[in-house]
Amino acid sequence: MSKVSEGRGAWFLKHAYLWAMLALIFLPFYVMLVVSFKDNTQFYNRTWAPTWPLHWGNWLEAWDTVGVYIANSVFLAVTATLITLVAAVLASYVFGRYRVPFGDLFWAGLIVLMLMPGVANLIPLFNLMKRLTLLNSLLGLSVVTAAGGQVFCLYVLRNFIEDMPKEFFECARIDGASHLQQVIHVVIPQCGGIISALAIMQFVGAWNSFILPLITIRDTELLPLAVGLYRLQGAYVKQWGPLMAAYFISAVPLVILFAFTMRFFIRGISEGAIKG
Amino acid sequence: MARERVRFSQIKRYWPLYAMVVPTLVLVGLFMYWPAVSGVWHSFYRWDGDEVATYTGLQNYGRAFTDPKFGYAFVVVGILFVASLFKMIPSIVTAVVIHRITSDKARYLYRLLFVVPMVIPWMVVLLIWKFFYNPIVGLLNSVLNTTHLMDVLVWANAWLVKAGIVDSAAFVANKSPAWLGDPDLVLPALIFWGFPWIGIIGVLIYLSGLEKIPRSVYECAELDGVGWFRKFLYIELPLIATQVRINLVLMIIGVLKGYGLILVLLGDDGGPAGRGLVPGLYMYYNAFIRREAGYACAMGILLFFLILALTVINNKLVRVEK
């Protein structure tokens, strides 16, 4: 790292800048927390400062409404991430190590798909899901989400596997490992960092997915989080306190996820970026 | 590593390989290739998105070229794109500042702190911004009022009207501006959205590029008495040029394809007087509200070619010398 002599002024400026930015970035947390304890009178009188008494009931009320959305989103994100990564790891092992017939054609097609605006094929996709009776079903939604995640994961993972030393695979093969065993015992341990970073990105992506669930899920009790919250804020009479409590609660699952995986995530992004 | 060639005739020996590609092939083929092909196919039809489809040749494309709303959508997306170029700066600056913090511990701590807001779901961020923009209870208006910046805006607006540069007043004394409800304020609101525009993934990517700078380079610069800005210009910026380019490509694609943000903030018709209409949203509107799916598909194909062209140009023009 740069060990550069720095003046006190420079030191102060750098830290002041970072803290100012952090304050702005963390502002939504403050807003959610402060407003979540207000009833509507307190809200309209003093919106931005804490007020007493605190209305803890808002949180219970919020949990009653968003609890089911969170459960749906957890299911959606977990299944979609699993399907995406299992399929992508297997396929990128093949594409990274072998030249299969039509492989290059398939690959070129993938790159083109990345540029395709989602809406252009949203309507045909909707029709297809209707015919396969995947509409209004969380599992159907997660399969389609997993398909959408394939492109990016394949792209990243294939590059990683291609750059792995051939000797790893040769040794495994001499020991009599099948292809599947090579994936499990060579690829997964070696690419663990990037696989977990991809998993987190897929999870967060599915957690935030909005347009697809908006058009495919009808029943209120099946709505994932983003659409559920969108509908909630569209309600005519707004109860701001419970609404903000609901927003706050909906961040909790990701807090738990990041608490355990932050380290992999930061490292994975850095590794991935070096590959470019 | 050179890849081994597998021929189709060796299928008996290599069948497990084929089996391993099947899940991906099925997923991508069924849910991505097929809808894409079907979209291209239907762009030549008048189609209600369901059963009825009549062949109309290139009519949809002709209509797209003469549709003033579609043209306007590209103006909006152009403005948003230029704004996004500037909005890339804070991430770069933040990464460089974190990089220049001398203590290893503090650097790690800052990195961690900047990642934390990622836990807020995207939808919640949007809805909170919508709340900030609220004319009566919103934070933005109260900040502007307490700091008296509002008076400055009112004064500047009145001056611009008098000078004949703009013809309507968006800021009037003693009136709360409706950021998402006033046609003249929709675009500024869409640009200001997400202030201070720090994308943590971008910051992490830049940081990983910066960390490759050897210490000796800094020491040389120090000896030569190079100032902080020139250090940035000649040492740091060239080293993250690749990453900046990757982010630029991702941003172009994102801005052109994206419309979820505007759908949430302004509704499916692009807000007051359709001022926030972008191509993606106009396609969505045609497909799901007006039920003109064939037309929407045609617009999608046009957009695809535009994105393709821009990506190619970007790869050609913004060459990074190593």
pLDDT score at A157: 86
Which residues on B lie below 8 Å from A126 (Cβ)? 49
**Residue B262 backbone phi and psi in degrees, to 5:** -75, -35
Mean per-residue pLDDT over chain A, rounded: 83
Segment among A47-61, A67-81, B61-75, B290-304 with least mean pLDDT = A47-61
Segment among A201-210, B78-87, B224-233 with least mean pLDDT = B224-233
Cβ of residue A50 closer than 8 Å to a chain B Cβ = no
Choose among B255, B264, B259, B267: nearest CA to B128: B264
Cβ of residue B250 closer than 8 Å to a chain A Cβ = no
pLDDT tens digit sequence for B23-52: 888 888 888 888 888 888 888 888 877 777
For residue A40, give how far its alpha carbon lies from the nearest alpha carbon of chain B (Å): 12
**Residue whose token pair is 């801005």:** B255
Cβ neighbourhood burial of B217 (10 Å; 0-12, 13-18, 19+): middle
pLDDT score at B319: 58
Which residues on B lie below 8 Å from A134 (Cβ)? none
Query: Is B27 within 8 Å of A150 when comparing Cβ atoms?
Result: yes
- Give the C-alpha separation, B98 to B105, whole Å: 11
Beta strands in chain A (DSSP E): 98-99
Which residues, including other chains, have CB under 8 Å from residue B286's CB and lie 6 or more apart?
B292, B293, B295, B296, B299
Q: Does some domain include residue A39? A: no
Cβ of residue A176 closer than 8 Å to a chain B Cβ = no
Cβ neighbourhood burial of B185 (10 Å; 0-12, 13-18, 19+): buried
pLDDT tens digit sequence for B235-291: 888 878 877 887 887 788 788 877 888 898 888 888 888 888 888 899 889 888 888
- Whether A2 has a pLDDT exceeding 60, the answer reads no
Q: Does some domain include residue B57? A: no
Query: Cis omega before residue B196 (within 30°)?
Result: yes
Segment among A228-232, B77-81, B152-156 with least mean pLDDT = B152-156
Give me the long-range contacts of A253-256 (CB less than 8 A, separation at least 24).
A253/A70, A253/A73, A253/A74, A253/A207, A254/A204, A254/A207, A254/B118, A254/B119, A254/B120, A254/B121, A255/B119
Cβ of residue A229 closer than 8 Å to a chain B Cβ = yes
Whether the complex's predicted ipTM is more than 0.95 is answered with no
CATH number at residue A162: 1.10.3720.10
**Residue A244 backbone phi and psi in degrees, to 5:** -70, -35
pLDDT score at A84: 93
- Whether A76 has a pLDDT exceeding 90, the answer reads yes
SS3 state at A273: helix
Which residues on A lie below 8 Å from B264 (Cβ)? 210, 230
B112: left (phi over 0), alpha (psi -120 to 50) or beta: alpha
Q: Does some domain include residue A81? A: yes
Average of per-residue pLDDT across A180-200: 82
- Whether B292 has a pLDDT exceeding 90, the answer reads no
Which run of H or of E encompasses A256? Answer: helix A252-275
Q: Which residue out of A31, A32, A123 would a mutagenesis test of the B interface target, given it has the greatest number of B Cβ atoms within 10 Å? A: A123
Cβ of residue B312 closer than 8 Å to a chain A Cβ = no
Q: Could you tell me the CA-to-CA distances from A122 to A77, A128, B52 in Å, in that order?
A: 20, 10, 17
**Residue B181 backbone phi and psi in degrees, to 5:** -115, -15
CATH number at residue B307: 1.10.3720.10
pLDDT score at B118: 83
pLDDT score at A183: 80
Q: Give the per-residue SS3 of chain B.
A: CCCEECCHHHHHHHHHHHHHHHHHHHHHHHHHHHHHHHHHHHCCEEECCCCCEEECCCHHHHHHHHCHHHHHHHHHHHHHHHHHHHHCHHHHHHHHHHHHCCCHHHHHHHHHHHHHHHHCCHHHHHHHHHHHCCCCCCHHHHHHHHCCHHHHHHHHHHHHHHCCCCCCCCCCCCCCCCCCCCCCCHHHHHHHCCCCCCCHHHHHHHHHHHCCCCHHHHHHHHHCCCCHHHHHHHHHHHHCHHHHHHHHHHHHHHHHHCCHHHHHHHCCCCCHHHCCCCHHHHHHHHHHHCCCHHHHHHHHHHHHHHHHHHHHHHHHHCCCCC
Choose among B318, B306, B254: nearest CA to B84: B254
Which residues on A lie below 8 Å from B114 (Cβ)? 21-22, 25
Cβ of residue A45 closer than 8 Å to a chain B Cβ = no
Q: Is pLDDT larger for residue B75 or for residue A49? A: B75
Which residues on B lie below 8 Å from A48 (Cβ)? 139, 142
pLDDT score at A271: 66
Nearest to B24 among A97, A127, A154 (CB): A154
Q: Which domain holds residue A122?
A: 56-275
pLDDT score at A275: 52
pLDDT score at A74: 92
- Chains A–B, number of C-beta pairs less than 8 Å apart: 295
Query: Is B34 within 8 Å of A1 when comparing Cβ atoms?
Result: no
Structure tokens at B313: 């140009």
pLDDT tens digit sequence for A234-263: 776 677 888 888 888 988 888 888 888 877
Cβ of residue A113 closer than 8 Å to a chain B Cβ = yes
- Give the C-alpha separation, A240 to B131, whole Å: 10
Cβ of residue A82 closer than 8 Å to a chain B Cβ = no
**Residue whose token pair is 């934390």:** B116
Q: Could you tell me the CA-to-CA distances from A141 to A70, A146, A214, B37 in Å, in that order?
A: 15, 9, 11, 21
Nearest to B36 among A47, A113, A180 (CB): A113
pLDDT score at A236: 64
Choose among A207, A180, A188, A198: nearest CA to A267: A198
Q: Which residue out of A113, A116, A188 would a mutagenesis test of the B interface target, given it has the greatest number of B Cβ atoms within 10 Å? A: A116
Four-residue CA torsion sign, B58, B63, B66, B72: negative
Cβ of residue A188 closer than 8 Å to a chain B Cβ = no
State percent of chain B over pLDDT 70: 95
pLDDT score at A119: 67
Q: Closest chain B residue to A255 measured between Cα atoms? A: B119
- Give the C-alpha separation, A244 to A39, whole Å: 11
pLDDT tens digit sequence for B60-114: 898 889 888 889 988 999 999 899 888 888 988 898 888 888 888 888 888 888 8
- Whether B321 has a pLDDT exceeding 60, the answer reads no
- Give the C-alpha separation, A110 to A150, whole Å: 9
Mean per-residue pLDDT over chain B, rounded: 83
**Residue whose token pair is 């991809």:** A198
pLDDT score at B202: 84
pLDDT score at A3: 43
For residue B18, give how far its alpha carbon lies from the nearest alpha carbon of chain A (Å): 8
- Give the C-alpha separation, B263 to B280, whole Å: 10
Q: Does some domain include residue B98? A: yes
Cβ of residue A237 closer than 8 Å to a chain B Cβ = no
Query: Is B17 within 8 Å of A2 when comparing Cβ atoms?
Result: no
- Give the C-alpha separation, B155 to B160, whole Å: 9
> Do residues A183 and B19 touch, judged by C-beta distance below 8 A?
no
- Whether B128 has a pLDDT exceeding 60, the answer reads yes
Which residues, including other chains, have CB under 8 Å from residue B100's CB and lie 6 or more apart?
A2, A4, A14
Cβ of residue B300 closer than 8 Å to a chain A Cβ = yes
Cβ of residue A78 closer than 8 Å to a chain B Cβ = no
Query: Is A266 within 8 Å of B307 when comparing Cβ atoms?
Result: no
**Residue A239 backbone phi and psi in degrees, to 5:** -100, 100
Number of domains present in the structure of chain B = 1
Which residues on A lie below 8 Å from B90 (Cβ)? 21
Average of per-residue pLDDT across A8-37: 88
Q: Does some domain include residue B50? A: no
Structure tokens at B138: 């919103």
Nearest to A25 among B25, B117, B296 (CB): B117
- Whether A221 has a pLDDT exceeding 50, the answer reads yes
Axis-axis angle for helices A240-249, B122-132 (nearest 10): 150
Query: Cis omega before residue A53 (within 30°)?
Result: yes
Cβ of residue B264 closer than 8 Å to a chain A Cβ = yes
Number of C-alpha atoms within 13 angstroms, CB side, residue A206?
A: 32
pLDDT score at A276: 43
Query: Is A210 within 8 Å of B122 when comparing Cβ atoms?
Result: yes
In the DSSP assignment, the letter for residue A235 is S
Cβ of residue A177 closer than 8 Å to a chain B Cβ = no
Query: Is A115 within 8 Å of B5 when comparing Cβ atoms?
Result: no
Number of domains present in the structure of chain A = 1
Q: Which domain holds residue B81?
A: 69-133+179-317
Residue B18: count of CB within 10 angstroms of its CB: 15
Q: Does some domain include residue B62? A: no
pLDDT tens digit sequence for B164-195: 777 676 777 767 788 888 888 888 888 888 88
